[in-house]
Amino acid sequence: MTDFLQQAEELFPYTQALRRDLHMHPELGFREVRTGGIVAKELEALGIEVEIVPGITTALAAAAATKQPLTRRGVARSVAFFTSSTAPDEPDHPALPETDTLVQYMGGREAAATAARLLAEGRRPDLPVVVVENCSRADQRILRLTLDGLANGLDAAQGPVLVMIGEALQQRPHQAS
């Protein structure tokens, strides 16, 4: 028992620094991508095998929740998923994907800037946009607007926000609004 307590005491500064780092970069909901990556790396460094079990991506859950295809024959043949920010200590990636439909993860605060960049690149102001907050949860919220409306910003969100942009997102009568 003494060896265990001594090891725990020796690990304390390390675990304390790791906890502080994780608290400085909070992740919402069940999407702790950064945290999961750090934990997996640490476990592997200890010789513990890690298996990553993928779930359904939020983009597909949002498309299902809104009854919204991300591609559409004759309108949108491609879709790209991207995040609003890069990893800590990594340079920003200024380019947006060149695709018919864009899906922006963690897009709440950065959505207006993304819309402004797309407008500056020549995308149509009336391009359809679907915003899903708290996707696939009981408090899910769906907002439909246009690219120029998105450029004006979003109201403060109470949970994770996914922003889908593109012609395929044009609302049809049977889709949730």
* Residue 126: CATH number of its domain: 3.30.950.10
Q: How confident is the model at residue 177 (pLDDT cuts 50, 70, 90)?
A: low
- Let me know whether 20 and 85 are in one domain: no
Q: Give residue-wise pLDDT tens across range 58-104.
A: 889 999 999 889 999 999 999 999 887 656 666 666 678 889 999 99
Beta bridge partners of 130: 144, 164
Assessment of whether the complete model's pTM goes beyond 0.75: no
- Let me know whether 13 and 87 are in one domain: no
Range of the domain at 38: 2-45
Beta bridge partners of 161: 133
- Let me know whether 24 and 62 are in one domain: no
Considering the domain boundaries, does residue 62 fall inside one?
A: yes
Considering the domain boundaries, does residue 52 fall inside one?
A: no
Q: How confident is the model at residue 2 (pLDDT cuts 50, 70, 90)?
A: confident
- pLDDT score at 38: 86
Please spell the DSSP secondary structure of 138-167, one letter per residue: TT-EEEEEEHHHHHT--PPPSS-EEEEESG
Q: Give residue-wise pLDDT tens across range 131-152.
A: 999 998 889 999 999 999 999 9
